[in-house]
């Protein structure tokens, strides 16, 4: 919200309802934690803490090959590092999203890696979500045409 409000071209998307909801969420966090902790949380690199996704994978004993060879490269599409494949300019209309023919090249392998990693983390934590994860993997394979 603060980033949008600080940019004149996107400030108008912050509706009074959105602003109220975010303030409410922030108040609930402050009630559980402290204003100082919530302020510190804003600078975290991930939703889970002040460490990177790679560090999270290490802590969960996810094999390095999964992170470095499967996720790191293939997640570029998810993080829009190769946005040229997913966005096209439409004259005076601005930018439009598009799904390229090669979506499976990055998105599906990265998604598959994420689901596999969630399964490994679930095993470490003793959380059995195999049914849901198998369904996610089935959908990934369906979209990828496997």
Residue 138 domain-assigned?
A: yes
Distance CA 57, CA 43 (A): 20
Yes or no: say if 129 and 122 are a contact pair by the CB < 8 Å rule. yes
Is residue 26 domain-shared with residue 59, that is, in the same domain? Answer: no
Please give the tally of structural domains in the chain.
Answer: 2
Q: What is the mean pLDDT of the chain?
A: 79
pLDDT value, residue 143 = 76
Percent of the chain at pLDDT > 90 equals 7
Residue 31 domain-assigned?
A: yes
**Residue 50 CB: number of other CB atoms within 10 A?**
11
Yes or no: say if 115 and 133 are a contact pair by the CB < 8 Å rule. yes
**Residue 13 belongs to domain spanning:** 2-41
Is residue 8 domain-shared with residue 80, that is, in the same domain? Answer: no
Lowest-confidence region among 17-31, 49-63, 76-90, 107-121: 76-90
**What would the pLDDT profile of 73-109 be if each residue is shown by its tens digit?**
766 655 655 666 667 777 777 777 776 666 566 677 7
Do strands 95-97 and 87-89 pair parallel, antiparallel, or not at all (unpaired)?
A: antiparallel
SS3 content of the chain, % helix, strand, coil (to 5): 65, 5, 30
Is residue 82 domain-shared with residue 12, that is, in the same domain? Answer: no
pLDDT value, residue 31 = 93
């Amino acid at each position: 919200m603060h980033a949008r409000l600080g940019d004149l071209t996107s400030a108008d998307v912050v509706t009074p309802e959105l602003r109220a909801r975010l303030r409410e969420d922030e108040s609930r966090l402050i009630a559980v934690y402290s204003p100082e902790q919530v302020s510190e949380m804003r600078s975290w690199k991930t939703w889970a803490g002040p460490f990177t996704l790679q560090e999270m994978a290490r802590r969960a004993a996810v094999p390095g090959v999964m992170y470095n060879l499967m996720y790191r490269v293939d997640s570029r599409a998810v993080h829009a590092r190769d946005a040229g494949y997913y966005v096209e300019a439409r004259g005076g209309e601005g930018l439009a999203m598009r799904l390229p023919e090669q979506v499976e090249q990055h998105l599906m392998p990265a998604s598959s890696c994420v689901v596999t990693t969630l399964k490994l983390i679930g095993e470490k934590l003793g959380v059995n979500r195999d049914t849901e994860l198998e369904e996610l993997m089935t959908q990934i394979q369906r979209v990828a045409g496997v």
